[in-house]
A and B are shown apart, each in its own frame.
Chain A
Amino acid sequence: MNEAIGAVRGVYGVWLREITRATRDRGQMIGGVSRPIIWLLILGVGLNPYFRGEVYGQVAYVVPYTYLQFLFPAVIVLNIMYTSIQFAVSMIWDREFGFLREVLVSPMPRSLILLGKVLGGATVATTHGGLVLLLARFADVTLSFGEMAAALGFMFLLAFGLTSFGIILAARVRSFEGFGVFSNTLILPLYFASSSIFPLDPSLTRTQAVTSYPEWLVFLTRANPMTYAVDALRGILIDFNQFPTVLGPAIVLGMAVIFFVIALIDFNRT
């Protein structure tokens, strides 16, 4: 019993450190706010006229929501992606400045240290995703408490998987600069190829999608796990799913488990 309490306190300690550090990092905070402003307020409003109808019965994409509503869940996913993956910088930081060594020599099992770190990262990323929900009025997305709770739960699961993924990357990249470049070349392609800012595939049949877009792009979209994460969040927030409802949560849950296990294997080798 005492061992269990000790383990929980250990995980809590690591989690708390990550939270404290994140909340004191103004740069990270500003990033968390500037992304939704740029993507939703500027890009969303800027592209809105190109997605609205001018003649009844004639729109570029026949989907039962507006462009801002379409973009809204994707911006949340983007905020989570950035925060989660960039969170791995803290791992590199800890490794560079010796904090990790101090933690690793503690009697606490490595799996619990990693769990504390991932939970900390996921909490921060979920908070950043949650901040976007404050712009729901702007995008005309009406949310009930149930929907909000479901969205936050899903966002946490996604953040958990992506933070673990960030840690996997951190184990393979040795410098801050290298990680920055690496993460950007990963986050943006994943984001753009997830039907996030323009409907590469949603609501269209596969035949129509291939007619509108080259086969390779449709393939990339379908192979990209972030497509299903965005789709699942759209299902929760604007009640629209392109894929079967269970597919998104199942893929995100699978990502969380698989990435955490790989991160644990890497972490044990540290």
Chain B
Amino acid sequence: MSRRPRHPWLRPAANIGLIAVLLIALSFLPPDNSLAEVQENGVLKLCVPESYPPLVQADEDSPGFDVELAGLIAQEIGVRLVVNVMPSIGRDFNPRNWRLTRGQCNIIAGGVADTVQTQGFLQTLPTLAETGWVGISLDGSLPARGSSWAVWPGTSGLDRLALSRWLRENDVKARLVSSPTELRALLDRGEIDGAITERFAASATGIDNGKYQVFWLPPESFERFRMALGLWKGDQTLYRAVRAALKKLDYKVKNIGSEYGLVYNFRVTSEQLAAKNFTCGLALTT
């Protein structure tokens, strides 16, 4: 007569344990060569537009938040940063026409918003900067019905359809402009009641901050997004390395962010909440 084993669960448990160890070990295999290639070439290629202040600036001493951030990441990975300025970025609404290729860039920055639309094409790593639609006007008030506002959509991929719907619903006459310079000129000449653009595109207009107020459009109508570094889909190992570097550099990143004026809180004051007035309420406070 066979004896019942003292620990009947021991063998099955050992089998399951062995399988678990095997699978966990396998999960550490690299799924691609993207990081290995960057390390082998000793270069991390960053593609940016010509100017997108304060994320990308044409100033050697102060090249912009995204460029400095990428420099730190490259240092952390142990390679040199090469910045490829791509004048094509932003020249067209469709990013396909910018012709940015895997060969030219490992990372795309300077105007990449962390939206679902962007995530369809790139893997994104959000940074400190936040973006969304903003209004620019003399008194910081929302467009009144029948008023005329200039619109410059910028390049970050915010939802233009939602903006156009909102303008129609509020009976605002929208005047589409093709550059920040045109937008500023219209404002200065008083030909329009105000302007709507993307947050960082607003800083590119160079408007007089003492004269105009910049404010978020109503949060119940428009979502705000973090800006991001964009990496190619499928470059998992590089993505992981950049993510790990960002985590490690957290403190330094915040310091750079405050140097570029990005560590802000946008808040609605209680009085404005009570008055349901989000226009001036979304004041920029440090």
Contacts and interface: CB of A to CB of B under 8 A. Distances in A.
Interface in B88-139: 94-102, 105, 108, 116, 119-123
A109 to B, nearest CB: 28
B119 A64 contact: yes
Interface in B24-38: 24, 26-29, 31-32
Given A29-B19, A57-B96, A24 B232 contact: no
B161 interface: no
A59 interface: yes
B39 to A, nearest CB: 19
Interface stretch (A3-11, A46-54, A162-170): A46-54
B252 interface: no
B8 interface: yes
A32 interface: yes
A29 B12 CA distance: 10
A44 B31 CA distance: 9
A66 B123 contact: yes
Interface in A13-63: 20, 23-24, 26, 29, 32-33, 36-37, 41, 44-45, 48-49, 51-59, 62-63
A193 B240 CA distance: 32
A91 interface: no
B23 A49 contact: no
A23 B15 contact: yes
A137 interface: yes
B234 interface: yes
A26 B15 CA distance: 8
Interface residues of B, number: 42
A36 to B, nearest CB: 7
Contact of B101 (A23, A37, A54): A54
A55 B101 contact: yes
Contact of B29 (A48, A54, A138): A138
A32 B123 CA distance: 31
Contact of A59 (B108, B120, B239): B120
A67 interface: yes
A140 B240 contact: yes
B102 A37 contact: no
A174 B182 CA distance: 80
B234 A37 contact: no
Interface stretch (A100-108, A128-136, A145-153, A179-187): A128-136
A68 interface: yes
B239 A140 contact: yes
B16 interface: yes
Contact of A41 (B29, B98, B101): B29
Contacts of B101: 54-56
Interface of B: 8, 11-13, 15-16, 19-20, 22-24, 26-29, 31-32, 94-102, 105, 108, 116, 119-123, 230, 232-236, 239-240
23 contacts: A23-B13, A29-B15, A32-B19, A33-B22, A33-B23, A41-B26, A44-B31, A48-B32, A48-B234, A51-B233, A52-B233, A55-B99, A56-B100, A57-B95, A64-B119, A66-B123, A66-B236, A134-B20, A134-B24, A134-B27, A137-B28, A138-B31, A139-B31
